[in-house]
């Protein structure tokens, strides 16, 4: 079978012809990773280049089995992030696009809003900084006093002031990811499940389902994105460190939070602190923690244990602990204690007034953050990072709120692919320089 392929380059008037015997092993665009980011990128590419062959490769038997299906499911509004970041650029619009996507398709969405509460006078400056960031990012955010906060949610406890974000919402992240996969398939994207990428020879990607020879490769491999990037000579300054998020579910008989209730976060850390989330099904959960994990998919027991990987990660964690880079000792101590239910419950209880906490007893499915660490700078990277050249592009640090950002972030990624493709010559770039 032979034929003319219409690669992204064809948009720029560069026809690309190959003879194919196994079309799906020779896609124009191969996206590694069937999480929300990979699927959103594949959808965007197919919408833009309808005649291109777009394939998504996923090592699991289903899409969304890692971070995308195991997160808090919160559509963030976009006020945490400094205005110059990609997170700020995409979050507000991402929230709007997910809301539209769910409403149009009848997917569950709870538009309950969120209160950020202060636990003492020392946190008021943090609240003011969030308000400043929200204003710069064009996010609707209301400053309320204690009485107004209680009117919004009688369960909330705050010190003098709080912030109310009316646009923060909840979705079912696994259902949303599956819906996006369905839409990709309907558009003609091939999703190959149970195919793990493990090696590379020139332009060929070696996988457990055969050798793929893509026109262009996009790496959206989440917890393994650094490893895949390194096969292509990228991501060398970085390493992914897994941080586990545990959740506790409860059904308090009275004063059950009806909006999300969050603390003022430490803005030096890329996570938001233990909070109350109301799910689309009306359940209430507290968490997530940010506990250093010992291997990348270290969800429970010895599940997905890999000795070499564990030794590598434990080695890095031991070094971070000794040097106390980015206050790792404090993080490890604070977070490991939250494995104890009473510690986690005590922390969450500070955000509410009169909510019986005894009922928070059922541990939910944990999720693991693929947090990027810069080896030389010895710090956690706060924003999304892209690196690539004329044949591949690597998405690193797709941490929260990458789920919320998925649609506009995917457009940005595909724009970068188009630029790289047009430039022809291998070009290395980092976030913001593209």
In the complex, which residues of this chain contact ligand FAD (CB under 6 A)? 32-38, 57-60, 65-68, 71-74, 76, 196-197, 220-224, 228, 245, 288, 367-369, 398-404
Phi, psi of 337, deg, nearest 5:
-65, -25
Q: Choose between 9 and 383: whose C-beta lies nearer to ligand FAD.
A: 383
Give the integer Cα–Cα distance in Å for 243 and 381: 14
Give the integer Cα–Cα distance in Å for 416 and 305: 35
340 CB-near residues (< 8 Å, 6+ apart): none
Q: Choose between 71 and 316: whose C-beta lies nearer to ligand FAD.
A: 71
Give the integer Cα–Cα distance in Å for 391 and 417: 9
Give the integer Cα–Cα distance in Å for 57 and 39: 10
Side-chain-facing half-sphere of 201: CA atoms under 13 Å: 6
Q: Rounded to 10 degrees, what is the CA torsion of 406, 408, 409, 414?
A: 120
User: CB of 402: closest distance to ligand FAD in angstroms?
Assistant: 3
User: CB of 13: closest distance to ligand FAD in angstroms?
Assistant: 32
Sheet with 114-117: strands ordered across: 142-145, 161-165, 114-117, 260-263, 275-278, 284-287, 248-250, 362-363
Q: Choose between 118 and 399: whose C-beta lies nearer to ligand FAD.
A: 399
User: CB of 246: closest distance to ligand FAD in angstroms?
Assistant: 8
User: CB of 29: closest distance to ligand FAD in angstroms?
Assistant: 15
User: CB of 369: closest distance to ligand FAD in angstroms?
Assistant: 4
Produce one character per residue of 218-238: b if its CB has 16 or more CB atoms within 10 Å, e if not. Answer: bbbbbbbbbbbbebbebbebb
Residues in the chain: 434
User: Could you please report the per-residue DSSP string of 283-323?
Assistant: -EEEE---EEPSSTT--STTTT--HHHHHHHHHHHHHHHHH
Q: Choose between 188 and 199: whose C-beta lies nearer to ligand FAD.
A: 199
Q: Choose between 38 and 235: whose C-beta lies nearer to ligand FAD.
A: 38
User: CB of 358: closest distance to ligand FAD in angstroms?
Assistant: 24
C-alpha 321 chain-centroid distance = 25
User: CB of 15: closest distance to ligand FAD in angstroms?
Assistant: 30
Q: Choose between 355 and 397: whose C-beta lies nearer to ligand FAD.
A: 397
Q: Choose between 316 and 404: whose C-beta lies nearer to ligand FAD.
A: 404
Q: Choose between 63 and 118: whose C-beta lies nearer to ligand FAD.
A: 63
User: CB of 1: closest distance to ligand FAD in angstroms?
Assistant: 26
Q: Choose between 218 and 399: whose C-beta lies nearer to ligand FAD.
A: 399
Angle value at C-alpha 142, between 141 and 145, nearest 5 degrees: 145
Question: Residue 217 forms beta bridges with which residues?
Answer: 30, 392
Residue 298: both structure tokens together: 């270290």
User: CB of 111: closest distance to ligand FAD in angstroms?
Assistant: 15
User: CB of 17: closest distance to ligand FAD in angstroms?
Assistant: 28
Residue nearest ligand FAD (C-beta atom) = 35
User: CB of 280: closest distance to ligand FAD in angstroms?
Assistant: 12
Residue 237: both structure tokens together: 């300054």
Q: Choose between 37 and 420: whose C-beta lies nearer to ligand FAD.
A: 37
Residue 21: both structure tokens together: 């015997």
Give the integer Cα–Cα distance in Å for 50 and 56: 15
Q: Choose between 196 and 204: whose C-beta lies nearer to ligand FAD.
A: 196
Report yes or no: 182 and 166 within 8 Å, Cβ to Cβ: no
């Amino acid at each position: 079978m032979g034929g003319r392929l219409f690669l992204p380059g064809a948009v720029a008037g560069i026809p690309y012809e190959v003879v194919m015997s196994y079309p799906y092993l020779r896609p124009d665009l191969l996206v590694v990773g069937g999480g929300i980011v990979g699927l959103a990128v594949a959808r965007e590419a197919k919408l833009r280049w309808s005649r291109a062959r777009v394939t998504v490769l996923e090592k699991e038997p289903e899409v969304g089995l890692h971070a995308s299906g195991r997160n808090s499911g919160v559509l963030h509004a976009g006020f945490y992030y400094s205005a110059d970041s990609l997170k700020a650029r995409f979050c507000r619009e991402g929230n709007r696009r997910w809301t539209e996507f769910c409403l149009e398709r009848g997917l569950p969405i709870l538009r309950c809003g969120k209160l950020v509460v202060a636990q003492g006078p020392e946190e008021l400056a943090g609240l003011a900084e969030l308000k400043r960031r929200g204003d710069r990012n064009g996010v609707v955010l209301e400053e309320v006093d204690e009485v107004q906060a209680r009117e919004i949610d009688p369960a909330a406890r705050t010190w003098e002031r709080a912030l109310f974000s009316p646009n923060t919402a909840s979705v079912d992240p696994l259902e949303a990811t599956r819906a996006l996969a369905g839409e990709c398939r309907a558009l003609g994207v091939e999703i190959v499940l149970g195919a793990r990428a493990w090696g590379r020879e020139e332009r060929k990607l070696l996988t457990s389902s055969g050798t793929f020879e893509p026109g262009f490769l996009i790496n959206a491999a989440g917890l393994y994105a650094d490893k895949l990037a390194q096969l292509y000579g990228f991501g060398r300054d970085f390493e992914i460190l897994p941080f586990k998020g545990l959740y506790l579910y409860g059904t308090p008989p009275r004063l059950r939070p009806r909006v999300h209730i969050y603390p003022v976060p430490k803005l030096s850390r890329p996570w938001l602190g233990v909070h109350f989330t109301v799910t689309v099904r009306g359940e209430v959960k507290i968490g997530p923690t940010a506990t250093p994990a010992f291997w990348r998919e270290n969800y429970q027991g010895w599940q997905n244990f890999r000795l070499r990987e564990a030794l590598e990660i434990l080695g890095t964690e031991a070094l971070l602990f000794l040097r106390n880079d980015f206050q790792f000792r404090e993080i490890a101590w604070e977070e490991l204690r939250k494995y104890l239910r009473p510690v986690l419950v005590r922390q969450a209880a500070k955000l509410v007034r009169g909510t019986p906490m005894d009922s928070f007893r059922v541990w939910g499915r944990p999720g693991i953050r693929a947090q990027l660490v810069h080896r030389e700078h010895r710090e956690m990277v706060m924003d999304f990072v892209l690196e690539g050249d004329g044949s591949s592009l690597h998405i690193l640090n797709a941490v929260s709120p990458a789920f919320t950002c998925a649609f506009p972030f995917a457009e940005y990624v595909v724009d970068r692919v188009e630029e790289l493709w047009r430039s022809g010559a291998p070009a290395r770039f980092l976030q913001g320089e593209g």
